Structure 1
Amino acid sequence: MRIHAFQHVAFEDLGTIRLWAEAKGHHLATTRLDADETPAAPDVFDFLVVLGGPMNIYEEEAHPWLAAEKTAIRAAVDAGKGVLGICLGAQLVCDVLGGQVTKGEHPEIGWQPVTLTPQGAAHPLFAGFPETFTAFHWHGDTFSIPTGAIHAASSPGCANQAFVLGDRVAGLQFHLETAPANLVSLIKHCGSEIVPGNFVQTPKAMHNGRASFAPLRDLMSRFLDSMEAVIGS
């Protein structure tokens, strides 16, 4: 399988998705949007992963490449490719599907629980997931559920945590791909966003939750196995 990532900053990379892909022998390539690289066309990949980043989807004046990226994501969806958006990436996918991205009521930063909706629990992409699990979060904005998609997950701090359109397009507001190095980098580069709140952890609390990395990686692998099965069918 040919996997392509749209990456927005150096410190938010594929994380454990890379480990899964390398173990499976899949081909990996990346477009660095922040380095003004041209987004890849759908004919060069089977599965597109749109990663996170500290910018917002509506900041096209500061980040002109956002417009081209949105066009490329739309082309991937229209071509029937597998598409996974994570955090900012999920918001971008929502936007190209006609949904809305707005400031969330509560920022979520750190380890927080996520609960699948009945529709999410029944969807093949979440096969093997527990009803409630711990995921890593780092976001202030939130997305609506695009028309035609299912509302797949929620959390106490954010009602819309995941959506799935059909069987191969998904948006996850939370992070399953986060590895220990990603946590360190996020705190280093985005630490100014850590302000007291009901759903915001201190750096110490985030580091104290490191036991969650192993089950998080397992859930990421389960999700990718399910996506792989769909793309290869």
Structure 2
Amino acid sequence: MSKSALILHHLAFEDLGSFGPVLEEEGYRLNHVEAGIDALPDSRGPDLVVVLGGPIGVNDAEAYPCMKSERDWLAPRLAARRPTLGICLGAQLMAAAFGARVAPMPRKEIGFSGLALTEAGINSPLRHLRDVPVLHWHGEAFDIPDGADTLAGTAACATQAFAMGPTVLGLQFHPEAGEMPALERWLIGHSVELAEARIDPASLRRDAIAHGPALRHAGQSMLRAWLQDLPA
């Protein structure tokens, strides 16, 4: 019997990436929902919810009301510890729904670098990402929610991942993306942000060619391990 997965998108090209095939292989029927456009069903209904990234922020609800509605939508699902995965903005929304602070960083973290895993991280599905440079693309960061485990950090951002038991996982970084040619959509779509941050897209292309294939394999292994650890 197939399982249902609701995939909440904020930007067309920030999609499931390498995670899509894994979800299908694990028997999930994917329902794609566009933030701010599509109506959100009862958050507790799907077997899995995946909240993806985007260029707006949790604290931008006055300009983008979907930020508040998504936080409120996530809260009962997270309270019930229903399986939920958040990536970048998705993880920030989850942290905010738990009552944790999300705030701007002193400097944006954009590019490939490795994670420093905590002991909890080493004993989690993130072990598959050990020694693998992952893609970072964010200017804000979350505090770790009360009761959650910190799984990873970097020099620029100490709070890169949290888990609340085996069913709730928030990732500040992007394990699902970073491989060419798909990353070219990001470089084009975020061209203004890259220019403002004085980041050369050519350097990101070079790093994507160097690290993208390994990240794809490691990211898929991480997701598969997390899905397989979910309670039946």
Paired position in structure 2 for 1:27: 29
What pairs with 1:46-57 in structure 2 (closer than 5 Å)?
A: 46-57=47-58
1:42 Cα offset (Å): 3.2
SS of the residue corresponding to residue 55 of structure 1 reads coil
In the TM superposition, what are the counterparts of 1:1-233 in structure 2 within 5 Å? 1-34=3-36, 36-123=37-124, 125-130=125-130, 132-178=131-177, 179-195=179-195, 201-209=199-207, 210-233=209-232
Distance 2:79 2:185 in 1: 34
TM-score by length of 2: 0.90
In the aligned structure 2, how far is the partner of 1:159 from the partner of 1:226?
24
- Conserved 8 A contact 1:6-1:51: yes
Q: State the TM-score, normalizing by the size of structure 1.
A: 0.90
Could you tell which deviates more after superposition, 94-103 or 42-51? 42-51
Q: Is the 8 A contact 1:8 1:33 kept in 2?
A: yes
Give the letter for the 1:22 counterpart.
E
Deviations 1:107-139 (A, max 9, x none): 11111221211221123x324442x32000111
Which amino acid in 1 is paired with 2:63? A
Q: For 1:182-223, what per-residue CA distance to the aligned partner results, in whole angstroms no more than 9, with x for missing partners? A: 4211111112222587xx752111111223122211222222
Give the match's secondary structure for 2:114: strand
The C-alpha deviation readout for 1:143-180, integer Å capped at 9, x for no partner, is 11111011110112111111111111111111001143
- Any unmatched runs of 5+ in structure 2? none
Say how many residue pairs are matched: 228
Distance (whole Å) between structure 2 residues aligned to residue 157 and residue 133 of structure 1: 17
Q: Which moved more, 1:47-56 or 1:185-194?
A: 185-194
State whether residues 48 and 76 of structure 1, in contact with CA within 8 Å, keep that contact through their aligned partners in structure 2.
Answer: no
Secondary structure class of the residue paired with 1:186: helix
Q: Deviations over 1:18-51 (max 9, x none)?
A: 12223334211111013x2112323441111110
Give the whole-Å Cα distance in 1 for the aligned partners of 2:31 and 2:155.
35
Name stretches of at least 5 consecutive residues in structure 1 with no aligned partner: none
Q: In structure 1, give the amino acid aligned to 2:160.
A: Q
Residue 211 of structure 1 aligns to a residue whose secondary structure is helix
Moved over 3 A (4+): none
- 8 A contact 2:112–2:133 mirrored in 1: yes
